[in-house]
Amino acid sequence: MRLQCEVEVVSRLLPTCGLRGRGRGTRALLSLGRPPGRAQGGGVYLMVCTARDRVGARYKVQENIERFFTRFVEEGKATVRLREPAVDVCLSKANASNLKTFLAAVRLAHQGTNTEALPLSALVPAKNSEVEKPKTKMIITSRRDYPLTKNFPYSLEHLQASYCKLARIDMRVLCLKKLRKLDLSHNHIKQLPATIGDLTCLQELILHNNHLESFSEALCNSTLQKSLQFLDLSQNKIKALPIQFCQLQELVNLKLDDNELIRLPFKIGQLDHLRFLSAARNKLPFLPSDFRKLCLESLDLFGNPFEQPSLLVPNIQLQIPLTLLECAARATINYREYNPSAPDRFWCSVTLPECLRHNPSSWPPCRRLEENGTTQDKKGFLLQESQ
């Protein structure tokens, strides 16, 4: 059984000499097993191999452990205190699940019960790749440097592969579960696979200067909703973003420059954490009404053909030449005084020409009329009749 983590072996006798440990672990490989050539009944040892000492230091385990410190085992930390020599083996940056399994095996080996059933390893010197510090950053800026036969290190947190003429995203990249920043700018990528959403730690996605035509709904509904903070889609061929795009609510910085956008998502105001938005040189004629809900620190909309708002002009439709009824009504309004003895409905039907129905503001002043026991303005009565 083996475990890769950072290890610091601290002597408990150092304080008596006025000394103290470094307080910093080094990358190491821990092995639990029997030395080569020993019989099955031989003792079980814990071997610690580092880059400086690949042969490793061995510590007897059976009935030689004073105490286990496992309070922070969920964080990948633990300490094994040995009786002889008087040292503490401090473990950190280990996989929590693997660490629990390893400590359980060490505990059984210490107790000496059922050691034959333990998955023991051969105590042999470690390889360089097993004790080297895991690579967390890789930058590739040319096609000739792009790895074709080897896998990417699974410990990568930052990967940049620019100017590599990639037409699609390599499936090996999608296996990097610790990836936090992915930069695939200056390539020929046309479509994004939905499996990018399986990168649960991804915080920054840079796809600047590719051939993208869309951003899929599947990505908007993936785990990127809780992790993605920076998205660069500038210099592509995107015409519109899906409505579900506004579910990426952890976005802080969004770049959409130099695309073919004709609209922004109408629920863009739901991006509560968005502080930097750039959508210059697109084809946006207007902004959605939800845009005013954003709390932006920086906004760039230069080079968009925004439409100028037009004033609302009343549309009065007149039939020319005027009908005889309309001419008579105009003459009645201009030259005849209102007669209270005339029936109200007769007055309304005669004196309301077509032109006045479209322009109630031109109605003449009149007395108040009573309709069904309710006093109302003549204009209101005429309007009711016209409708």
Task: Return the CATH number at 15.
Answer: 2.30.29.180
Q: For residue 165, what pLDDT band results from cuts at 50, 70 and 90?
A: very high
Residue 244 three-state SS: helix
Q: What is the pLDDT of residue 179?
A: 96
Q: How far is CA 162 from CA 7, 146, 359, 365, in A?
A: 36, 10, 65, 77
- Residue 41: inside a domain: yes
Residue 368 — very low, low, confident or very high, per pLDDT cuts 50/70/90? very low
CB 147 within 8 A of CB 125: no
145 and 274 share one domain: yes
Q: Average the pLDDT over 61-82 and give the result.
A: 92
**Are residue 107 and residue 185 in the same domain, yes or no?**
no
Look at the chain and report how many structural domains it folds into: 3
Give the closest residue to 105 by CA, choosing from 32, 157, 202, 163: 32
End position of a domain, from candidates 131, 148, 168: 131
Do 295 and 153 belong together in one domain?
yes
* Structural domain ending residue among the three candidates 131, 149, 165: 131
Highest mean pLDDT among 21-25, 113-117, 218-222, 308-312: 218-222
Which H or E run includes 255? strand 253-255
Least confident of 92-101, 234-243, 300-309, 377-386: 377-386
Helix, strand counts (H, E) of the chain: 8, 18
Residue 113 lies in a domain: yes
C-alpha–C-alpha distance, residues 229 and 238, integer Å: 20
Residue 287 CA: distances (Å) to CA of 229, 262, 292:
23, 10, 9
Q: Sign of the CA dihedral 350, 355, 357, 363? A: negative
Query: Using one digit for the tens of pLDDT, what is the confidence trace for 132-162?
Result: 888 899 999 999 999 988 889 888 999 999 9
Q: Judge whether residue 223 has pLDDT over 70.
A: yes
Counting Cα atoms < 13 Å in the Cβ hemisphere of 242 gives 13
Query: What are phi and psi for residue 113, nearest 5 degrees?
Result: -105, 130
pLDDT digits 0-9 by tens, 320-356: 788 888 888 888 888 766 666 655 544 555 555 554 4
Window from 110-114, 153-157, 167-171, 260-264 with minimum mean pLDDT? 110-114
Domain span holding position 84 = 2-131
Taking residues 167-188, report their average pLDDT.
Answer: 94
pTM higher than 0.85, yes or no? no
pLDDT at 325: 86
* Together in a domain, 180 and 64: no
Output the DSSP codes for 105-165.
HHHHHHHTSSGGGS--EE--PPPHHHHSPPP-EEEE-SGGGS-SSSPPPTT-SEEEE-SS-
Cα pseudo-dihedral 333, 335, 340, 346, rounded to 10:
-50
Q: What does the pLDDT read at residue 42?
A: 62
Nearest-CA neighbor of 121 among 8, 193, 194, 45?
A: 45
Considering the domain architecture, whether residues 120 and 143 belong to the same structural domain is answered as: no
Averaged pLDDT for residues 84-101? 91
- What is the percentage of the chain residues whose pLDDT exceeds 70? 81
Asked whether residue 263 falls in the same domain as residue 143, the answer is: yes
Confidence band, pLDDT 50/70/90 cuts, at residue 259: very high
pLDDT at 196 over 50: yes
332 token code pair: 């009645």
Q: Which pLDDT value is given to residue 324?
A: 86
Specify the CATH number for the domain of residue 235: 3.80.10.10
Q: Which of 81, 96, 131 is a domain's end point?
A: 131
64 shares its domain with 105:
yes
Q: What confidence tier does 309 reach under pLDDT thresholds 50, 70, 90?
A: confident
Domain shared by 264 and 354, yes or no: no
Does residue 200 sit in the same domain as residue 153?
Answer: yes
Secondary structure class of 29 (helix, strand, coil): strand
Residues in the chain: 387
pLDDT of 300 higher than 70:
yes
> What is the pLDDT, as a whole number, of residue 131?
80
- The band of 302, judged by pLDDT with boundaries at 50, 70 and 90, is very high
7 is a domain residue: yes
The whole-number pLDDT of residue 370 equals 44
The mean-pLDDT minimum among 166-180, 264-278, 305-319, 356-370 falls in 356-370
Can you tell me the distance from the alpha carbon of 179 to that of 169, in angstroms, rounded to the nearest whole number? Answer: 14
| pLDDT, averaged across the chain | 84
Quote the crossing angle between the two packed helices 378-386 and 344-351, to the nearest 10°. 70
Region 54-77 average pLDDT = 91
Residue 314 within any structural domain of the chain: no
Does one domain contain both 160 and 270? yes
Evaluate whether residue 310 is within a structural domain: no
Q: Are 73 and 179 within one domain?
A: no
Per the listing, tokens 């309304």 go with 348
Above 70 in pLDDT, residue 387? Answer: no
pLDDT band, residue 380 (cuts 50/70/90): very low
- Residue 107 pLDDT exceeds 60: yes
For residues 260 and 186, membership in a common domain is answered with yes
Rounded CA separation 91/99 (Å): 9
